[in-house]
Structure 1
Amino acid sequence: MKAPPRPVIVLGVLALAGAAALALAPRDEPDAWLGYVEGEALYVAAPVSGTLATLPVQRGGTVRAGQPLFALDPRTTDAATAQARAELANAQAQRADLAQARQRAPELDVSRAAQASAQAQLARAEADYRRFDALAAKGFASRTQLDAARAARDVAAASLRQAEAEERSGKLTAGRAQQQAAAAAGVAGAEAALSAQQRRRDEIAPTAQASGTIEQTFFNPGEWVPANQPVVALLPADRRKLRFFVPQERIAALRPGAQVHFTCDGCGPARTATIRYIAPRAEFTPPVIYSERARSKLVFMVEAALPTNQPLPPGLPVAVSPQ
């Protein structure tokens, strides 16, 4: 068998090399930006420490807005609330006492009776003085008798004025204006303290502020929960978003409020999301984005809000493209 000419062999080798180079050359990746689903969980805690009494939710379960999440033992809080209520009652009683008259009704009746007696004595002393004055003018009464009658009349008038002053004093309130203002301030402070304790009672048994999924629970009933330590992590349905990374040469075309398409494994047809945030500075592609060609590029991080009817799990990889 005759061997092929050398030029033909060379051409064949070159063709194979070209085909191999074409097969191994990096192809242009589709116009898609890689990212993932992220959720912003709400970490629900109590402002005071205590024993976890009830935990009616479980990890992975769904809750509705207003549904109880957990409750601490309320006995200590209830005792503090009762104390604040008693202090308020005491402050209100002090204020009411200072606003009343110094003398009660029976004591005022005594003052009025003394005033009536003084009026009667004054009337008799006045009549005696007029009689002795008339007699003295005719020479039938001495100067001494007239002076005694005048003195008796003046004493009776003074006694009447004293009785009237005692009645007016008894009608005055028990406290001065400054004392009454201090008592009113004490009532306001006690009311604020009671309101704070009642609010604290609600805070040790919080409810879900929005519908969502229980992402994690950190304590079990019967365990001691420190103050401000999260007990439940709630992921609301409206707090899920896409976080993806756009090359620097494409970022200028994006604006907050614009919509993008995205796909993910098992998600079916392409879905839409609305851009809410664009990072002001570029960064290198984060290691979580697995792309040989894009891992060293400068990119901008972009966040897009998901519709509430698309509860995708956090961490799910997505591929995003402009609309």
Structure 2
Amino acid sequence: MPCDRHPPRPALLLGLSLWLLLPACASALTLGCLITPARVAEIGTPVAGVVERMLVDRGDSVRQGQPLAVLHAAGERASVRTAEARARAQAAVSAAQATLSLARQKTQRAESLHAEQFISDIALDQARTELTVAAQSLKQAEDQRAIYQAESAQALAQLHQRALRSPFDGVVVDRMAQPGERVELLPLLRVADVARLRVEVVVPASQFGQVRAGARHPVKADVPGVAAREATVTQVDQVIDAASNTFRVRLAMDNADRAVPAGARCQVDLGLATVAGSAGSAGTKTP
């Protein structure tokens, strides 16, 4: 209902005086806001290299774990093949096992012959020593095979570092590298999660304590054809910025249908009220 502070035209002095004493009408306080992606990741590489292929471009939708770019990895692929061949090798272990089996049989025969006093103590000690050495040789061969398996895993991990993957479902919002470029410290791509959005609002300090976490409020993007939808308050700053005399509020908005564009300015009604003509009322402000 519109706020009308004018007295009826057939005004009497008494009626005018009573009207002037009435409190000013309250109106809804609509605040400017900014819609941002819930997550933004700059995709870089943990190792220096030359870009071999860029598999996505700006605007492409990507899934978590999807390859985005590949660096040259000829050396790493060769290392993987070599390490896997060593890890699969069984010759050294098989030979050590055969030697140990033979040494065990010789020791058993030596002990039987020594019990019947057909061989000396020195011959028996020699057979037992050969058994111990054979057992140690088998252990050494098995340890070496374990080292080769670890080297194979390491070589495979280094190869995987040459393929950059998306950390979550989202959209490629920027591409900063091309095939043939050497990359090391700077990111190659920027990916944003637009299925979940954040709404950042700057609220006048006079409204502190009026916004509650968990409350739902309508948010309207300043984009033609985009309908308003509700967002949930997830964070209310507990510190007021002294310079602007404001505090920040963050809301979470579900955008699984991707109908609301990230980066758009918006208007939000937090259910606050401002008194018309009152001192200290703040206008809308976009963060």
TM class, shorter-length? 0.5 to 0.7
Find the aligned partners of 1:74 and 1:160 in 2 and give their Cα distance.
Answer: 63
Aligned to 1:274: 232
- More helix by percentage: 1
Shift of the alpha carbon at 1:99? 6.3
Q: Is the 8 A contact 2:103 2:130 kept in 1?
A: no
Q: Structure 1, residues 14-71: CA drift from partner, whole Å, max 9, x if none?
A: xxxxxxxxxxxxxx98511211112231112221122211112111222233432111
Q: Pairwise CA RMSD of aligned residues?
A: 3.9
Q: Is the 8 A contact 2:107 2:128 kept in 1?
A: no
Aligned to 2:58: 59
- More strand by percentage: 2
Find the aligned partners of 2:252 and 2:40 in 1 and give their Cα distance.
Answer: 14
Q: Structure 1, residues 61-93: CA drift from partner, whole Å, max 9, x if none?
A: 222334321111121221333454466568x87
The code of the aligned residue for 1:198 comes to L
Q: 1:313 aligns with which of 237, 254, 261?
A: 261
Find the aligned partners of 1:173 and 1:81 in 2 and give their Cα distance.
Answer: 33
Aligned to 2:132: 172
Q: Is the 8 A contact 1:84 1:190 kept in 2?
A: yes
Q: 1:168 to 1:224 in 2, by over 3 A?
A: same
Give the SS at the match of 2:155.
helix
Q: Is the 8 A contact 2:195 2:257 kept in 1?
A: no
Shifted more, 76-85 versus 39-48: the winner is 76-85
Q: 1:310 to 1:318 in 2, by over 3 A?
A: farther
Aligned to 2:67: 68
The question of 1:105 aligning with 2:102 is answered: yes
Unmatched 5+ stretches in structure 2: 1-25, 272-287
Aligned to 1:45: 44
Shift of the alpha carbon at 1:221? 1.3
Unmatched 5+ stretches in structure 1: 1-27, 123-156, 285-295
TM-score, structure 2 normalization: 0.67
Shift of the alpha carbon at 1:260? 1.7
Shift of the alpha carbon at 1:160? 4.3
Q: 1:244 to 1:98 in 2, by over 3 A?
A: farther
Q: 1:279 to 1:191 in 2, by over 3 A?
A: farther
Following superposition, which runs of at least 4 residues in structure 1 exceed 4 angstroms of deviation? 86-90, 97-104, 106-116, 182-190
Q: 1:302 to 1:88 in 2, by over 3 A?
A: same
Q: Structure 1, residues 248-274: CA drift from partner, whole Å, max 9, x if none?
A: 222312233221211122254421111
